[in-house]
């Protein structure tokens, strides 16, 4: 066996052992050898290296087996002996979080900036905040493992920068990953924000029970993350799941079905974005109730969606019926094309409206009535506002936790080293 293959197997076995210790909570060397089919001697050597590196520790004796004999020594992950940073970029603010090896967020802060502000002005604000967070305890900087950055738009994974973006278009084709890798000397991963959210729901949220799912994000824009056989599908140029660019086309043979929402839009992303839904509801309330612009100006979407007993409830439901029809079209087409095991819906719109969820499920069932497919569960994401951050933190942790053979191409494509 050549040196390269020997080293790869050694690293792979270390990752397998570390993953098991993390997932099981506590486990013995004997059980590790049994579960991984690695020799007891090799497991002992790997455990010694991981203990020396500070990733795991011995915590005492476990119970003897039914046959009796020596009680095994139990091992446990040391979650606060390694840290990753998650950065979530939005059009007018960025979230910066520090997390440990268990994906637990230790501290989180927000950097505000003006909508349309350039990457040149924003990045120094983010790095200044991150510097102050890392300085709170010397171990944070000393044990920093990696940085994950979630951004809206298409990503050039080879260069570690944005290739196309609507909400932060001034950031396109500017160094992003390299700024952080050069400053902090750790691997830096950059990922689309909806993909990060999807990965978070898969590992930690509503998608933990399946390796085949689609997560649809309803927010400033419209997009989806796709996981097939446990792998995130990005597509040739990283734009897989961009549902917002689908043409309305033949789906609107009868525009009267969306008479409130439809204002000559050409794409699903324009008609289904959060702000358009809120503006449509406000306009309908203003017109039907003979109110002024000032009367409806301060109405908030979450309040309108959550409280079904308020005076505008009937108007809201009328528009949500239209929205549900559009959403059900997307869900039905995804079921037909991907035969996915689950569809997860995320975003403030769906999280605050049980009515919308029920209506969408109902229409999908009707659409699938004469099609020989099994019904696909449609659920709301459980991570909510933390979804994107939890996802990008989990991705950053892949540097030490993800099996190397499974992610060699992933590492090459999207993790940047200095």
pLDDT digits (tens, 9 = 90+) for 173-219: 898 999 999 999 999 999 999 999 999 999 899 999 999 999 999 99
Provide CB contacts within 8 A for 50, sequence distance 6+.
14, 17, 18, 21, 56
Among 188-202, 296-310, 402-416, the minimum mean pLDDT is found in: 402-416
State the Cα–Cα distance between residues 73 and 75, nearest whole angstrom: 7
Distance of CA 44 to the CA centre of its chain: 36
208 token code pair: 């933990």
| 97 and 43 inside one domain | no
pLDDT tens digits, residue range 40-90? 888 888 888 888 888 888 887 877 666 656 788 898 988 898 999 999 999
Q: How confident is the model at residue 415 (pLDDT cuts 50, 70, 90)?
A: low
pLDDT tens digits, residue range 335-372? 999 999 999 999 999 999 999 999 999 999 998 888 88
The SS3 call for residue 253 is: coil
Which helix H or strand E contains 217, and what residues bound it?
strand 213-218
- The answer to whether residue 172 scores a pLDDT higher than 50 is yes
For 38, which DSSP code? -
Average pLDDT, the chain: 88
| 235 and 362 inside one domain | yes
| 274 and 396 inside one domain | no
348 token code pair: 């403030």
Q: What is the CATH number of the domain that holds 138?
A: 3.30.420.40
| 50 and 102 inside one domain | no
Given 77, 98, 126, which residue is the final one in a domain? Answer: 77
- The answer to whether residue 107 scores a pLDDT higher than 90 is yes
The SS3 call for residue 384 is: helix
Helix 193-204 / helix 387-396 crossing angle, nearest 10 deg: 80
Cβ 152 vs Cβ 233: under 8 Å: no
Q: What is the CATH number of the domain that holds 46?
A: 1.10.10.10
Domain count, the chain: 3
Q: In this structure, are strands 83-89 and 144-151 parallel, antiparallel, or unpaired?
A: parallel
187 token code pair: 């691997």
Identify the bridge partners of residue 401 per DSSP, sorted by sequence position: none
User: What is the span of the domain harbouring residue 195?
Assistant: 81-200+387-416
CA distances from 118 to 13, 93, 176, 267, 391 (A): 44, 12, 12, 27, 25
Distance of CA 47 to the CA centre of its chain: 31
| 271 and 285 inside one domain | yes
Residue 405's pLDDT is 34
Residue 417's pLDDT is 62
pLDDT tens digits, residue range 219-247? 988 999 999 998 999 988 788 999 999 99
Burial of 274 (0-12, 13-18, 19+ CB in 10 A): middle
Residue 58's pLDDT is 87
Provide CB contacts within 8 A for 238, sequence distance 6+.
154, 155, 156, 157, 163, 192
């Amino acid at each position: 066996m050549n040196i390269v293959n020997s080293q790869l197997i050694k690293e792979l076995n270390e990752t397998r052992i570390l993953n098991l210790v993390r997932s099981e909570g506590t486990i013995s060397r004997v059980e590790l050898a049994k579960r991984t089919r690695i020799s007891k001697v090799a497991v002992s050597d790997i455990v010694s290296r991981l203990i020396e590196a500070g990733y795991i520790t011995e915590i005492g004796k476990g119970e003897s087996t039914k046959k009796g004999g020596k009680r095994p020594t139990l091992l446990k992950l040391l979650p606060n002996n390694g840290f990753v940073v998650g950065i979530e970029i939005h059009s007018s603010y960025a979230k910066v979080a520090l997390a440990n090896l268990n994906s637990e967020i230790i501290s989180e802060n927000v950097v505000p900036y003006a909508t349309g502000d350039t990457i040149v002005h924003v990045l120094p604000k983010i790095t200044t905040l991150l510097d102050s967070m890392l300085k709170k305890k010397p171990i944070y900087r000393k044990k920093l493992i990696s940085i994950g950055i979630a951004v809206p738009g298409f990503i050039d994974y080879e260069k570690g920068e944005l290739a196309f973006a609507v909400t932060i278009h001034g950031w396109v084709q500017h160094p992003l990953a390299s700024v952080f890798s050069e400053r902090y000397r750790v691997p830096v991963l950059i990922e689309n924000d909806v993909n990060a959210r999807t990965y978070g729901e898969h590992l930690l949220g509503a998608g933990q029970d399946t390796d085949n799912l689609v997560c649809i994000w309803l927010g400033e824009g419209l997009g989806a993350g796709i996981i097939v056989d446990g792998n995130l599908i990005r597509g040739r140029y990283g734009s897989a799941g961009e549902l917002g660019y689908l043409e309305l086309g033949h789906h609107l043979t009868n525009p009267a079905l969306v008479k409130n929402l439809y204002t000559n839009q050409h794409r699903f992303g324009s008609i289904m974005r959060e702000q358009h839904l809120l503006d449509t509801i406000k306009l309908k309330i203003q017109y039907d109730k003979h109110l002024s612009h000032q009367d409806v100006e301060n109405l908030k979407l979450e309040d309108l969606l959550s409280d079904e007993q308020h005076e505008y409830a009937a108007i809201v439901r009328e528009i949500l019926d239209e929205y549900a029809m559009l959403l059900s079209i997307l869900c039905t087409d995804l079921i037909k094309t991907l035969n996915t095991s689950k569809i997860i819906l995320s975003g403030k719109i769906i999280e605050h409206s049980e009515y919308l969820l029920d209506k969408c499920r109902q229409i999908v069932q009707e659409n699938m009535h004469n099609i020989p497919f099994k019904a696909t569960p449609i659920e709301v994401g459980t991570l909510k506002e933390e979804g994107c951050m939890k996802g990008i933190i989990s991705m950053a942790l892949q540097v030490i936790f993800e099996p190397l053979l499974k992610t060699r191409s992933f590492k090459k494509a999207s993790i940047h080293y200095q």
